[in-house]
Copies of this chain bind each other. A is one copy, B any other.
Amino acid sequence: MIVIKLTKRQEEIIRLVKENQPITSEQLADKINVTRAALRPDLAILTMTGILEARPKVGYLYSKKGGNSIVYDLIREITVAEIKSKPTVVSEDTTVYDAIVQLFLNDAGTIFVTNNDYLVGAVSRKDFLKIALGNTDIHKVPVGIIMTRMPNIITITDEDPAFEAAKKIIEHEVDSLPVVEKEITEEGKEMFKITGKVSKTNITRLFVKIGAGK
């Protein structure tokens, strides 16, 4: 997978096609003042990337894929499953102090809380810092008292694009998302098993991987 930049001429071609579609390569060459042969590589690039559509005996059309929302396959096709990492999980009755110890041991940004294996809450470093500064007895109070509780936790699933995870992280201003599998109980209640997490660290690591061309 590769990333390329459009040249000025390619951008000019896109503009001309948008304004005059359908337009033949002959007409395009005429407007740009070059030969048809000179345009051929540009038109090849623009059709192969799906920006333009070439219709035999009609000419070039601007593709419905539209303007700038071009072929971001590279970023959009990588799934959460490919970049998720192991979440740090404690049970609801763990003391705040013990949860913080887990945070340090795993160098985690967010601790996820489960009850009988189902996700019930999350606590961030910021939440812990706030509690540590207050009058709470962190050796006695369970993490279940201070956590952000379901359904107020933004989740993501294995099949979602990594791009979607990054978008949720930014939009909801959180550091980390639990990756979940939905289950419906006999009473018809939605429950979530946690199978991983996607944090800003995972996204940054992916960004480095893409940038390094791996």
Query: Which residues does chain B contribute within 8 Å of A173, judged by CB atoms?
Result: 107
B40 touches A170 (CB 8 A): no
Of B48, B97, B107, B214, which contacts A4 at CB under 8 A? B48
Query: Which residues does chain B contribute within 8 Å of A206, judged by CB atoms?
Result: 207
Query: Which residues does chain B contribute within 8 Å of A2, judged by CB atoms?
Result: 3-6, 49, 51, 70-72
CA distance A56 to B16 in the complex (A): 31
Known: A45-B44, A48-B45. A211 touches B166 (CB 8 A): yes
B6 touches A208 (CB 8 A): no
Query: Which residues does chain B contribute within 8 Å of A76, judged by CB atoms?
Result: 211
Of B201, B203, B207, which contacts A75 at CB under 8 A? B207
A168 to chain B: closest CB distance in Å?
10
B4 touches A69 (CB 8 A): no
CA distance A72 to B74 in the complex (A): 12
A14 to chain B: closest CB distance in Å?
11
A127 to chain B: closest CB distance in Å?
10
B169 touches A3 (CB 8 A): no
- What band does the interface of chain A fall in when counting residues whose beta carbon is under 8 Å from B? 35 or more
CA distance A125 to B109 in the complex (A): 9
Instruction: Tell me if A149 counts as interface (CB < 8 A to partner B).
Output: no
B75 touches A3 (CB 8 A): yes
Instruction: Tell me if A8 counts as interface (CB < 8 A to partner B).
Output: no
A44 (CB) vs chain B CBs: closest residue: B41
Of B3, B166, B208, B210, which contacts A71 at CB under 8 A? B3
Known: A72-B211, A163-B208. 6 other contacts (CB 8 A): A2-B51, A3-B3, A5-B74, A72-B212, A75-B207, A203-B207
A-to-B contact residues, CB < 8 Å: 1-6, 40-41, 44-45, 47-49, 51, 67-76, 97, 100, 103-104, 107, 125-126, 128-130, 132-133, 138, 163, 166-167, 169-170, 173, 199-201, 203-208, 210-214
